[in-house]
Amino acid sequence: MTTEALIQDPEALKPAGRRASAEAMGAKQRDISVSEFFTKNRHLLGFDNPAKALLTTIKEAVDNALDACEEAGILPTLDVTVEEVSDGRYRVRVEDNGPGIVKEQIPKIFAKLLYGSKFHRLRQSRGQQGIGISAAGMYGHLTTGRPVVVVSKIGKGRPAWRVEVRIDSRTNEPKQLNDKNDTVTWEKDHGTSVEIELMGLYRGGRTSVDAYLEQTVVANPHLELSYKPPKGPLVHFPRVSDLLPPEAQEIKPHPHGVELGMLIKILHESGRRHVAQTLMEEFSRVTQPVADELCKRAGIDPNAVAARVDAAKIEALHAAMVASNAALPPIKKFASKVARSDGNLREEVLEEGTGFSPTLADLVIRRGGLEPTVKAKLVTPMMVEKLYASLHDSQVKILPPPANCIVPVGEALVMEGLRRRFKGEFFTSHTRPPAVYRGNPFVVEAGVAFGGTLSRDDSADVLRFANRVPLLYQPRACAIHEAVLKVDWKSYGLQQRKGELPVGPLAIFVHLASVWVPFTSEAKEAVAHYDEVVREIRLALMECGRKLGAWVKAQQAERWETQRKSLFEKYIVELAASIHSITKVSEESVKKDFTDALPNHVRIAIAPVEGAAPGVDAGGEPAPGEGAAEAAAGPVEAEAEAPEPKASRPSERPPDMGDDGDGEPFYKDMTPGNSRQLVLKVRSKSGRK
């Protein structure tokens, strides 16, 4: 089995031995360089369609710039320019004020895959998204033939090197195209600018470059960003916080969270070290017995040279490492799903289980004595049981990662970030204490922006983040989305139909920070639905909702009080004129008497947020100090409706009121609808003449 074949040709998943021998295939595979591998499997890196390619390119460059700035302790200032040079052909330039890159490293960084500083450790922030900027450069070169153009300067007085470089995909080696000593004048003290030309597609909407940058701004209040989109004017987001996020404590990757690409890179770059040794040194919580056990399951000799392990075995090793984080639903539920399924067993395991890669699924299925491609329907309950046993057997016990490495954005900065993105009237945020799912520590934080220029008629804008990286794809498959739906937003004064997002001028921010974010798939587009995770997100959102609800109520109360006051004030003017005319007491003095008494009778009464209209609370409460008897004689709301209090049965009202011998219309101050009906009745009587 080759990795390549596995992904491209499901037929190849037939039991080994039916076609070419493993040895024969393995020999071929040795000749495939990483760059060739990724050229053919570009979807693994986020280049599967033109729109996504454009986004991924920008994302890689921006992530790198932010990482570099943060690592160097510099407040990042970024310029992003996206230009459509011709139809479907875009030039992307990302410029930062980071530490710069030393001249010798530039070609390798931008034109050699699996070359970087971040793969060897695990930080809970960015840089886990893909193979990196060189892949973007490679994609650009592949589609337009243009090299990556880099300008970088590492300090005041130092030259700003200009490098045009492309990758040689056969050898995975960089090729610089311009003079090695090319420099440009750059007023910046230090920083890097990367320019890549690629075939892409710029479009708006949820998964657009614009959305990605806007959300990046929310999760990074310390970032100053200027963005020139292909169409429209330059957008500037000034910095709102001068605080760099605390440097995330560096830990080694945990086996649970390792990606295949990362594992390939780690092993490839392990020099002369043996597999077990490499695993122990590069991963946290991997002891000698754990390393041996992992190798055993992957069929690898622990003492083999790591850089020489073939791709198939690396995949098996990867499966063994992530296996202990995989889970299937309760056996009864799974068995009944399987019994009703139209697909094959592999599809069922991938769909119903969590934490499975296709390789791991196949591995577990085979170990359970089954074939991944067998029709799931045909699998008996007893065989399903064996599948569970097989999964259990595949799981090497590995300690969970330590919790002290999680750094959330923080409540204050979440709010700053939201403030910058949304012109709202109310902002709040809440960070939950660390929690654990399947042994993995994580922290959830939520925030909301409300009112102002946010659209009143649309569904809430949900911004999802995993380790500060915006999640743009697959909202419906995401636990964050599910948690938002599960919150009863109506109780906070918003509109919400069952099973839908709340409607109103609301933006919802949810950030899940974890050493190992539980994504639904390798594509890292949506967070998996672990009960613990959904619960934490809900709790964080509910806390924000409560604060929002209280604010909405207070706003209403305030508005009502002013309304009430102005209602009384306008009638005082009229009343004073009449009383003056009757009593000859000066109009001013009457007005003053009433105005002076006003504060005794206007109170802020917080009515229920929902449906309540001003005036539902009883006005005209007795003034302080009045006796209880008088208070009891105060206006009764029902009687206030009309000069005539309600008749014993509502249906009796019209005729009762309509018996006035004067034949004038009988309306009283009922609602206009009612009064019209009344008048009609009377008229229909007299109108018959």
Instruction: Provide the token pair at 220.
Output: 């990074």
- Selection from ligand ADP, other proteins, Mg ion, none that 646 binds (CB < 5 to 8 A by kind) is other proteins
The nearest distance, CB 470 to Mg ion, in angstroms, is 16
DSSP alpha helix (H) spans, 501-586: 531-583
Q: Out of 50, 402, 434, 622, which residue is the one contacting other proteins (CB under 8 A)?
A: 622
Nearer to ligand ADP, 62 or 387 (CB): 62
Nearer to ligand ADP, 253 or 447 (CB): 253
Which of these segments, 22-30, 60-68, 72-80, 475-483, binds Mg ion (CB under 5 A)? Answer: 60-68
Q: How far apart are CA 322 and CA 286, in angstroms?
A: 13
State the residue for tokens 């004689």.
Answer: 633
The size of the interface with other proteins (CB under 8 A), counted in residues, is 71
The nearest distance, CB 677 to other proteins, in angstroms, is 10
- Selection from Mg ion, other proteins, ligand ADP, none that 269 binds (CB < 5 to 8 A by kind) is none
With beta carbons less than 8 A apart as the criterion, state whether 551 and 557 touch.
no
Nearer to ligand ADP, 151 or 548 (CB): 151
Site string for ligand ADP, 119-148 (x = CB under 6 A): x-------x----xxx--------------
The size of the interface with ligand ADP (CB under 6 A), counted in residues, is 18
Which amino acid belongs to residue 155? G
Site string for Mg ion, 12-51 (x = CB under 5 A): ----------------------------------------
With beta carbons less than 8 A apart as the criterion, state whether 256 and 324 touch.
yes
The nearest distance, CB 615 to other proteins, in angstroms, is 4
DSSP alpha helix (H) spans, 170-259: 209-219
Instruction: Provide the token pair at 634.
Output: 């105060």
Q: Out of 2, 3, 39, 64, which residue is the one contacting Mg ion (CB under 5 A)?
A: 64
- Selection from ligand ADP, Mg ion, other proteins, none that 117 binds (CB < 5 to 8 A by kind) is ligand ADP
Question: Strand pairing partners for 81?
Answer: 93, 228
Cα dist from 456 to 49, 355, 460, 484, 495, whole Å: 34, 39, 9, 18, 10
Q: Which residue is nearest to ligand ADP (CB)?
A: 132
Is residue 354 near Mg ion by the rule CB under 5 A?
A: no
- Selection from other proteins, ligand ADP, Mg ion, none that 369 binds (CB < 5 to 8 A by kind) is none
Q: Out of 581, 604, 608, 671, which residue is the one contacting other proteins (CB under 8 A)?
A: 581
The nearest distance, CB 551 to other proteins, in angstroms, is 24
The nearest distance, CB 142 to ligand ADP, in angstroms, is 16
Is residue 390 near Mg ion by the rule CB under 5 A?
A: no
Which amino acid belongs to residue 605? A
Instruction: Provide the token pair at 143.
Output: 């589609």
With beta carbons less than 8 A apart as the criterion, state whether 59 and 210 touch.
no
Q: How far apart are CA 232 and CA 238, in angstroms?
A: 19
With beta carbons less than 8 A apart as the criterion, state whether 194 and 148 touch.
yes
The nearest distance, CB 565 to other proteins, in angstroms, is 11
Cα dist from 294 to 48, 299, 300, 317, 338, whole Å: 32, 9, 8, 7, 29
Site for other proteins in 538-577 (CB under 8 A): 564, 567-568, 570-571, 573-575, 577
State the residue for tokens 């890159």.
Answer: 101
Q: How far apart are CA 28 and CA 647, in angstroms?
A: 95
The nearest distance, CB 98 to Mg ion, in angstroms, is 12
SS3 502: strand
Nearer to ligand ADP, 101 or 365 (CB): 101
Helix (H) and strand (E) counts for the chain? 23, 17
Rg (CA), the chain: 34
Residue spans of beta strands (DSSP E) within 262-416: none
Q: Out of 132, 140, 200, 408, which residue is the one contacting Mg ion (CB under 5 A)?
A: 132
Q: What SS3 string covers 611-678? A: CCCCCCCCCCCCCCCCCHHHHHCCCCHHHHCCCCCCCCCHHHHHHHHCCCCCCCCCCCCCCHHHHHHH
With beta carbons less than 8 A apart as the criterion, state whether 80 and 58 touch.
yes
Distance from the Cα of residue 208 to its chain's centroid:
14
Residue 254 DSSP code: P
Q: Out of 271, 648, 650, 673, which residue is the one contacting other proteins (CB under 8 A)?
A: 648
The nearest distance, CB 101 to ligand ADP, in angstroms, is 5
Cα dist from 426 to 139, 448, 464, 544, 610, whole Å: 43, 8, 20, 11, 19
Site for ligand ADP in 64-83 (CB under 6 A): 64-65, 68
Q: Out of 238, 246, 381, 634, which residue is the one contacting other proteins (CB under 8 A)?
A: 634
Is residue 659 near other proteins by the rule CB under 8 A?
A: yes
Which of these segments, 64-72, 195-203, 506-514, 673-681, binds Mg ion (CB under 5 A)? Answer: 64-72
- Selection from ligand ADP, other proteins, Mg ion, none that 667 binds (CB < 5 to 8 A by kind) is other proteins
Residues lying near ligand ADP in the complex (CB under 6 A): 60, 64-65, 68, 96, 98-99, 101, 109, 116-119, 127, 132-134, 192
